[in-house]
Structure 1
Amino acid sequence: MQLLLSLIILCAAVWGGLALYYQLPLSMPWRAASLLLWAGLSIFALLRLWHEGLLQGVLIYLALHMALLWWWNSLTPSNQHLWEDNVAQMTSGHVDGNQVTLFNVRNFTWRSETDYSPHWETRQYDLSKLQSVDMLTSHWGMEAIAHVLVSFGFSDGQFVTFSVEIRKKKGQQFSEIAGFFKQYELSILAADERDAVAVRPNIRGEDTFLYRIDMPEEIRRQLFLSYIEQANQLIEQPRFYNTITVNCTTLVLAMMQHISGGLPLDFRLLLTGYLPSYIEEQGGLTDGFDLSQLRTAGRITERSKQAAQSPAYSKIIRQGVPGW
């Protein structure tokens, strides 16, 4: 029992140390001193557990951790920060029957990660012309990890891509570990495909794949409207990003569960690079092709580079994609 309780306290203490490291509003010397104090108090609780009995050690650590949780729960998300340019605005939408107006649709012209021309636009869409949904996965290193985007196509030739993004403050770098500790706020961003899609293979060197999603007309419409609803809510009620529980996949899954339900939990919802195989098992990809064929035909990396700033970018990247 002592060993089990010690392991629980140790894990909780490590979590607490990381929370303090990422969130204490102190310069490094004072932050380091605070971490040493936390470690010392946690060790003291462990020593009391082993030498003075289980109850005393557990009660001491519980008091410490309750104080930590009180401070942790006082940390609230905010939309009032100085943000990086590419997430400086938040998309919102207004729906009037079939007519949808999206505000702050991003349409940057990217020449490099640091050289770009920012454009934020207001665009209109007719839901009666909504005819397609595509899922894009973009890999930047490990096969198992990818960023997921969802793109909606309209019969008048328009495409708009939704991406669940972290809102990095000026000078911030992304870290998967920091993503567990309230380091980033969350944003749902609508963008032109020549921005949201092309920036990944063309500028960031990512390997990007496009899959046509087999989705009934009414579900397509509800998913599009759900993105707008969630984006509007984030303006009114900011949320923290979380690497596991609130990310580019879990938020979309929650929307789909609300719309249609019945989607099973699966490890591939976390290892997003394998998400296409999950969608295939749910009958959501184009019939008549196996996953390897869909992946090969849907690899748009080189087509995206060739299309670059072409006004026919969306058409070019879809050439040869099954379902198109």
Structure 2
Amino acid sequence: MTAILRPDELDRAAVLLRGGELVAFPTETVYGLGADARQGRAVAAVFEAKGRPHFNPLICHFPDTDAAFAEVVPDERARALAAAFWPGPLTLVLPRRVTSGIDLLAGAGLDTLAVRVPSHPLALALIRAAGVPVAAPSANRSGQVSPTTPAHVLDGLAGRIAAVVDGGPCDVGVESTVLDLQASAVLLRPGGVPAEAIEAVIGRIGRPLPRSAAEASRSLRSPGLMVSHYAPSLPVRLGAADVAAEEALLAFGAPLPGAGTVFQLSAARDLREAAANLFAGLRALDAEGARRGLSRIAVMPVPAHGLGAAINDRLERAAAPRPG
């Protein structure tokens, strides 16, 4: 059962979040589906609850600017925008700090994080009470309309999440604006802060190419845009039924014998555990494989149902031919 919590029960919601449970909560934009962004299994549970077919980067929510910028590397544009629009419905995509404690799955294995400080008083109070960064996409089943009331949340997620904090209807009703500041400022998603307001602070911002054109030109690095993505330096071989001594093995279940080194996604073949370990496993094998002079990464088959669909999507991207 999904508990419906009153605003005066935030301490209970905070305990659930710290314990790895999922809690929906109101923001000024829409209701978010919150998980402790430091716990890979909790983040994987978000994708599972939503039925989300891909590991798209999640927006990490913080109680204030200092907490957000402790996880990413801001430039002067980011600081100016934060001063102008935080707390508020603006998400900034910035380089991830090497010291960041955010789980890799929350950022979809990228070297960036999407961060924001919400302005809804209940959202801020919950994040402060939990004492953890909260990864939170919209609290609805994938492909459905974003929720702006607790009833909307329950329509899609009742029984799939631990609780929803009842904060009444949301004020803005559309998601936050997402701005990529890795290089030239690019608007990835229009939302609660108009592009014109952003340009009044930092000057002209770019609009992304259509997905097909961006893939053809390989001119953008926005999350999940390219076919060859999430790729380690070593080549990746999928569907391994055997493994050679010069290969690193990404195992799912009992490892194949003979690999030069092994990383276990889930010995119990648990898809949530495998999803939580996926990006850390690719990075670990890439580093250890290079250190040992191995030739590639062999990947054991992962079932394609449930979270397995998202795992296989990312593995296929990792194994795709690299741009010349």
> Which TM-score bucket, shorter chain as reference?
under 0.3
Question: Which of 1 and 2 has greater Rg?
Answer: 1
What TM-score do the two structures reach when normalised by structure 2? 0.26
RCO higher in structure (CA 8 A, sep ≥6): 2
